[in-house]
A = this chain, B = another copy of it.
Amino acid sequence: MARVDALIIQRMQSDVPVIPLLAEHLVAAGGKRLRPLMTVAAARATGGPVEAAVSLAAAVEFIHTATLLHDDVVDGSELRRGKVAAHLIWGAASSVLVGDFLFARAFELMVETDNMRALGVLARAAGVIAEGEVLQLTRAHDITLDRDTYLKIIQAKTAELFAAAAESGALGAGADDAQVTALRDYGMALGVAFQLADDALDYGGASETLGKNAGDDFREAKVTLPLLIAMERTGAAEAAFWARTIDRRDQSEDDFRRARELIVASGALTATLDEAGAWADRAKAALGVLPDTDWRRALASLADFAVSRAA
Residue positions of A touching B, CB distance < 8 A: 14-19, 66-67, 70, 73-75, 92-94, 96-101, 103-105, 107-108, 110-111, 114, 116, 119-120, 123-124, 126-127, 129-131, 133-135, 137-138
| Residues in B whose Cβ lies below 8 Å from that of A138 | 16-18
The CA-CA distance from A97 to B135 in the complex, in Å, is 10
A interface: dominant SS: helix
A74:B101 contact, CB within 8 angstroms? no
Taking A73-B92, A75-B93, A104-B130 as given, write out 12 further A-B residue pairs in contact, using a Cβ cutoff of 8 Å, ordered by the A residue number.
A16-B134, A16-B135, A70-B96, A73-B96, A101-B127, A104-B123, A104-B127, A107-B126, A108-B124, A111-B120, A116-B116, A119-B119
B120:A108 contact, CB within 8 angstroms? yes
The CA-CA distance from A92 to B133 in the complex, in Å, is 13
In the assembly, how many copies of this chain are there? Answer: 2
Q: How far is the CB of A73 from chain B (nearest CB, A)?
A: 6
The CA-CA distance from A267 to B107 in the complex, in Å, is 44
| Residues in B whose Cβ lies below 8 Å from that of A96 | 70, 73-74, 96
What are 14 A-B contacts with C-beta separation under 8 Å? Answer: A17-B138, A19-B131, A70-B97, A74-B96, A75-B93, A93-B137, A94-B134, A100-B103, A101-B130, A104-B126, A108-B124, A108-B127, A111-B119, A114-B116
